[in-house]
Amino acid sequence: MKIKVRVPSSTANLGPGFDVFGAALSLYNEFEVEYVSNAKKTKFIIKGEGKRSLSIGEKSLLWQSMQEAFKVLGTTKYSLNNLNIVINNNIPLSGGLGSSSTAIVGGVMLANALCSNKLDKSQIAELAIKIEGHPDNVVPAIFGGICICSKNEDEEEHGTVVNLPIPKLKVVLCVPSFELRTKRSREILPKMIDMKDAVFNISRVALLTAAFCCADYSLLKQATQDRLHQPYRGKMNPAMNKVLQAALGAKSFGAFLSGAGPTLAAFCSKKDAVNVQNTMENAWKKERVSVKSYILDFDVKGAMIV
């Protein structure tokens, strides 16, 4: 019996909501597992993005996440000697679209499915956050939609998740050809921040919530501004401000660094999406960076066994 799970990409932070806001998007990775009790030779195959660069077998993030889930589920029945695994990656790696989160969520969900789905979504989220370290990609990847993820005070439990209304907007994403590891782009952030910058971000996060709850997208220009991470990450992504300004000039409602970057994202109406996409692409090209771009919808269902 084969089990396949489809996990959406995600864009995190949405500007000011560092480690708190995340949205699931309509570009997917798929992970398949098959239990073979008498296997002589099992397979572990990666297709698409990362087929040559990603680790397979013991070192793969998918397998490590499956193992974490097997520990929680209390089983030692499964190993790479009795499972065939096929990964079909459509999401660019290390770009800020939550590709590694899909492997974590996919791994936990496949292991859970092999064990009769004993874990509910909230338990899956708790484990996935523990593996990932921050919630704002894995939570939307599991629940779908736009999520506010708030950790509990002890930072151990995943705390509260709230789904906001899905806006009637498109999300344009431009993924530049260079990769940026999330680890590196977290290391460059300051340990302390100025009270003025904290107040700036609190106001933007409040506006962002209001923009989605009231479907008032005119708020998004201000609501996607940030002073906690984008100014620092912009130093590793010199075209960032120019491309974001170009997106705003092309009638997008708001533009921001997607997660830890280097992908840049913009919210816009369906009718303006192609123009926003071309404008952002051209702004990157002027900086001599080639990009892959997407016009995506919000994913509303989250990860699913398909």
CA distance 268 to 279: 13
The amino acid at residue 304 is M
Rule CB under 6 A: choose which of 13, 29, 94, 209 binds ligand HSE: 13
Instruction: Compute how many residues bind ligand HSE; rule: CB under 6 A.
Output: 13
Q: Is residue 21 a contact point for ligand HSE (CB under 6 A)?
A: no
- 264, 247 Cβ separation under 8 angstroms: yes
Question: Considering only 104-112, 129-137, 196-204, 286-294, which stretch makes contact with ligand HSE by CB under 6 A?
Answer: 129-137
Residue 214 C-beta: closest distance to ligand HSE, Å: 25
Distance from C-alpha of 166 to C-alpha of 221, rounded to nearest angstrom: 18
Our CB check for ligand HSE shows the closer of 168 and 232 to be 232
For residue 305, the tally of other CB atoms under 10 A from its CB is 12
Residue 180 sits in the site that holds ligand HSE (CB under 6 A): no
Instruction: With both helix axes pointing from N to C terminus, report the angle between 99-114 and 121-132 in degrees, rounded to the nearest 10.
Output: 130
Token pair 């073979």 is at which residue?
36
Tokens of 23: 């949205």
- Between CA 22 and CA 144 the distance in angstroms is 9
Site membership for ligand HSE, residue 229 (CB under 6 A): yes
* Closest CB to ligand HSE among residues 34, 179: 179
Measured from the CB atom, is 129 or 273 closer to ligand HSE?
129
| 18 lines the binding site for ligand HSE (CB under 6 A) | yes
Give the helix ranges, DSSP H, for the chain.
61-73, 99-114, 121-132, 138-143, 182-187, 195-213, 220-223, 230-233, 240-249, 273-286
| 30 makes contact with ligand HSE (CB under 6 A) | no
CB of 18 to ligand HSE, least distance (A): 6
Interacting residues with ligand HSE between 132 and 151 (CB under 6 A): 134, 136-137
Which of 9, 29, 94, 182 binds ligand HSE (CB under 6 A)? It is 182
Q: In angstroms, what is the minimal distance from the CB of 126 to ligand HSE?
A: 18
- By the rule CB under 6 A, 277 interacts with ligand HSE: no
Residue 177's Cβ-side half-sphere holds a number of Cα atoms within 13 Å equal to 8
Q: Which positions touch ligand HSE (CB under 6 A)?
A: 12-13, 18-19, 96, 134, 136-137, 182, 186, 229, 259-260
